[in-house]
Chains A and B, each alone.
Chain A
Amino acid sequence: MFKQAIAICKKDFRSEIRTRYAINALLMFIIVVISVIKFSLGEEKLSAEMNAGLIWIIIFFATSNGLSRVFVSEEERGTSLVLKLSSEARSVILGKLIFNTVLTFIINFFIIILYILITDLTIKNIALFSLSVSLGTLGLSAVMTIIAALISKAGSKGTLYPVLSFPLLLPLMLASISSTWLTIEGAGLSAIAGELQMMVSYTIVVITASFLLFELIWND
């Protein structure tokens, strides 16, 4: 199962490199949004809380733009039969989950570097800031993956995506924003332990539910 999942994930990367379905839309979005923020801020400095909120808003819309493509593009092009004929549901969901997670990590790394460069943000606790963003990213990509799978079966595709994912993501986003904000201000581990715990358990629940749910939706 793991070998097959890796093969699916590799296929998605090669496909992404050739077609740039997700990447092009993502890069444009990120560059536009960050430029707008830069122009509207001028020399003004934002509070840590505002910065954390902005970072996660960018991440949310960027990923909900790009990641919805993974299942929808297979369904639209009729290639999902290739996967159905060649592997089991759990290999497919695992492969897509790995692909989306790696892609989200790359995107978010890019967003944050760009954000720091443009707004001159100083992060006081870089290690825990990275941990917070990473855990948030993991949860985010897990939710986005299963929702993309659900939506690929629905009629209206892309437009449903942010609408459906937002309420589900709310608890994760709140925890991510608050621990990102606190670590920008230099908080230690004990101050954000609750948030970290929340993010980890949220992600575990979502991944477990994804495997169960995906078995049901994958075949018709």
Chain B
Amino acid sequence: MGGLTDIRLEAVNLTKKFDRKTIFENVNFELTKKSSVAITGRNGSGKSTLIKIIANLLTQSSGELNLFSDGKKVKKEIVYRYIGFVSPYLNLYDEFTGAENLKIASAIRGISGDNSDSVLKQVGLFERRHDLLKIYSSGMKQRLKIAFSILHDPYILLLDEPTSNLDLEGVSVVDDIAGGYKKDRILIIATNDAHEKSLCDSEINLNKI
């Protein structure tokens, strides 16, 4: 699906305030397919907040954020179909196994074909797919979140501290996936980690805005 559609993400004067406290002001960017950007800035500068706004999980206080697919604006309600999202704020269901979590997510998305097995292999969790999430280690949970984010083959991959808790092998899984996405889609990583930053071709530094 990625090769055909032209996708464009555009932010104009994006500003977020919590109550009256301004987190960031007038963020502008335009991303088209085959681009990647790292969102950086000190702790509390609003990286996670910005990435949540892009994922349509929060709304901005002012400014415009729009997603265009083949030149047509994508309606807010269906932006979720375009987005894959990994974040420390995301929790999958503890009472289900790794495989069940992904199958349930596909069902809720209304995706008919089920590629959870291949995604589980990709993140190295296939052997442990029948274990409850409750007993997963933190690195295994992180891997499952990554599997969840790419399950539906999204156009835009949003990663907030994607390699936290991962071992070397896990980091290379993220490297491979990130490399694949920036080749023909959009990749955005919110991070302070030098390695994660190095996966992206450009940078938005929230300290400097």
Which residues in A have some Cβ–Cβ distance to B below 8 Å? 3-4, 7-8, 10-11, 14-15, 18-19, 77-79, 81-89, 91, 219-220
B96: A residues at CB distance < 8 A: 14-15, 18
User: A residues within 8 A CB of B192?
Assistant: none
Please state if B80 and A81 are interface contacts (CB–CB under 8 Å): no
Smallest CB-CB separation from B75: which chain A residue?
Answer: A88
Q: Are B94 and A77 in contact (CB under 8 A)?
A: yes
Kindly list 15 other residue pairs between chains A and B, CB separation below 8 angstroms, not including A77-B94, A84-B80, A87-B108.
Answer: A7-B107, A7-B108, A11-B108, A14-B100, A18-B96, A77-B91, A78-B90, A78-B91, A79-B91, A81-B89, A81-B91, A82-B92, A85-B55, A85-B90, A86-B105
Please, could you name 12 A-B residue pairs with CB atoms under 8 Å apart, sorted by A?
A7-B110, A11-B108, A15-B93, A15-B95, A77-B91, A79-B92, A81-B87, A84-B56, A86-B108, A88-B78, A89-B77, A219-B57
Contact B105 A82 (CB under 8 A): yes
Q: For B121, list chain A residues within 8 Å (CB).
A: none
Question: A81 touches which one: B77, B90, B108, B110 (CB < 8 A)?
Answer: B90
Q: Which of A4, A15, A78, A89 contacts B89 (CB 8 A)?
A: A78
Using Cβ atoms and an 8 Å threshold, which residues of chain B touch A81? 57, 85, 87, 89-91
Q: Considering the chains assembled together, what is the distance between the CA atoms of A127 and B134 in angstroms?
A: 46
CB pair B110–A4 under 8 Å, yes or no, is yes
Residue of A nearest to B109 (CB): A86
Q: How far is the CB of B59 from chain A (nearest CB, A)?
A: 6
Asked if A4 and B57 make an inter-chain contact with CB atoms under 8 angstroms apart, the answer reads no
B-side interface residues toward A, CB under 8 Å? 55-59, 77-78, 80, 83, 85, 87, 89-96, 100, 104-105, 107-110, 148
The A interface is mostly helix, strand or loop, or mixed, namely helix
Q: List the A side residues contacting B94 at CB < 8 Å.
A: 77
Q: Across the interface, which residues of B come within 8 angstroms of A10, CB to CB?
A: 107
Shortest CB distance B152–A (Å): 8
A11 pairs with B83, CB closer than 8 A: no
Q: How far is the CB of A19 from chain B (nearest CB, A)?
A: 5
How far is B22's CA from A46's CA once the two chains are assembled, in angstroms? 63
Q: Which of B56, B59, B77, B104 contacts A7 (CB 8 A)?
A: B104
Q: Which of B56, B83, B108 contacts A83 (CB 8 A)?
A: B108
Q: Which 3 A-B pairs have the closest CB atoms?
A: A78-B91, A7-B107, A18-B95
Chain A proximity of B16: nearest CB distance (Å): 11
A81 to B96, CA, bound (A): 16
Q: Are B57 and A11 in contact (CB under 8 A)?
A: no
Name B158's closest neighbour in chain A (CB-CB): A85
Contacting B57 at CB < 8 Å: which of A7, A77, A84?
A84
How far is B104's CA from A141's CA once the two chains are assembled, in angstroms?
24
Bound-state CA distance A89–B57 (Å) is 12
User: What's the Cα separation between A88 and B96 when bound, in Å?
Assistant: 22
CA distance A3 to B107 in the complex (A): 8
Q: Which residues of A contact B58 (CB under 8 A)?
A: 219-220
Q: Nearest residue in B to A18 (C-beta to C-beta)?
A: B95
Of A3, A82, A83, A85, which is within 8 A of B110 by CB? A3
With A11-B104, A85-B83, A89-B77 in contact, is A4–B93 under 8 Å at CB?
A: no
Contacts of B57 in A (CB 8 A): 81, 84-85, 219-220
CA–CA, A79 to B144, complex, Å? 14
User: Which residue on chain B has the smallest CB distance to residue A92?
Assistant: B108
